[in-house]
């Protein structure tokens, strides 16, 4: 009897181990599936007037969240729905943010098309990456009033410029910005031209999103999020 009980105990322990292994296997499969999937968001399936599905609004600095909604822009390439940030708060240290809630990214490529519509203080369009919270993240942004591409780090709500390059950024025309990050290497592209190439290891992973500044009214389209191995 004693032996039988012992055997049962061994069997139960084995079964538990198998279940634990299966659990962690399924966990690692689902995590890698999320991290390795490329996402292209063109907003065509979203409802005009709404925040696109899967996104969440925040802000850095002072003032309210931005006002983000899907609108029709006849100048967009191909299909014509785009994402617009239409609030035009006349505040200096104010940064509307819209985060894609679907995945966290460590190494990857993030690219978006944008068009600066208006803004007297700023006409700035940015890609947020390795987002921890609205006070801690990186942003690569182009500004059509300043004609430059800058990379900033936000840490505990304070903004620090890490790298920058002067480049002509016209208003009301479509352009692209792109981030490529691998470990501490961060590269910034404007219209597919490499302009920023630096190292920073403050943040290693985090969510991805879009960013504007002050009274910038910006249209965004074709947000690509591509994890790298």
Q: Give the C-alpha separation, 110 to 32, whole Å.
A: 18
Kindly state the smallest distance separating residue 42's Cβ from Ca ion, in Å.
4
Q: Which among 42-50, 105-113, 172-180, 196-204 is the span making contact with Ca ion, rule CB under 5 A?
A: 42-50
Residue 137 contacts residue 110 (beta carbons within 8 Å): no
Under the binding rule (CB under 5 A), the answer on residue 42 touching Ca ion is: yes
Given 46, 89, 180, 221, the residue binding Ca ion (CB under 5 A): 221
Q: Which is nearer to Ca ion, 42 or 216 (CB)?
A: 42
Q: Which among 39-47, 119-127, 129-137, 149-157 is the span making contact with Ca ion, rule CB under 5 A?
A: 39-47
Q: Which is nearer to Ca ion, 43 or 189 (CB)?
A: 43
Kindly state the smallest distance separating residue 82's Cβ from Ca ion, in Å.
5
Q: Which is nearer to Ca ion, 74 or 201 (CB)?
A: 74
Give 83's contacts (C-beta < 8 A, 6+ positions apart).
43, 46, 52, 68, 69, 70, 71, 98, 210, 219, 220, 221, 223
Instruction: Tell me the backbone φ, ψ of residue 26, rounded to 5 degrees.
Output: -65, -35
């Amino acid at each position: 009897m004693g032996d039988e009980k012992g055997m049962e105990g061994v069997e139960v322990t084995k079964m538990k181990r198998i279940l634990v292994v299966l659990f962690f296997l399924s966990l690692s499969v689902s995590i890698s599936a999320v991290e390795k999937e490329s996402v292209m968001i063109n907003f065509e399936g979203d409802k005009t007037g709404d925040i696109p599905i899967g996104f969440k609004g925040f802000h850095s600095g002072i003032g309210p969240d931005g006002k983000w909604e899907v609108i029709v822009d006849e100048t967009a390439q191909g299909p014509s729905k785009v994402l617009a940030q239409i609030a035009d708060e006349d505040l200096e240290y104010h940064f509307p943010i819209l985060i894609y809630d679907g995945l966290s990214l460590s190494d990857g490529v993030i690219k978006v098309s944008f068009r600066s519509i208006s803004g007297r203080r700023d006409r700035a369009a940015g890609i947020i990456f390795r987002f921890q919270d609205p006070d801690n993240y990186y942003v690569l942004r182009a500004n059509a009033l300043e004609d430059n591409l800058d990379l900033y780090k936000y840490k505990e709500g304070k903004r620090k410029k890490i790298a920058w390059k002067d480049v002509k950024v016209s208003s009301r025309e479509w352009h692209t910005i792109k981030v490529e990050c691998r470990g501490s290497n961060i590269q910034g592209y404007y219209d597919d031209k490499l302009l920023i190439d630096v190292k920073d290891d403050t943040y290693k992973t985090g969510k991805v999103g879009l960013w504007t500044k002050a009274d910038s009214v910006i249209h965004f389209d074709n947000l690509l999020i591509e994890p790298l191995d």
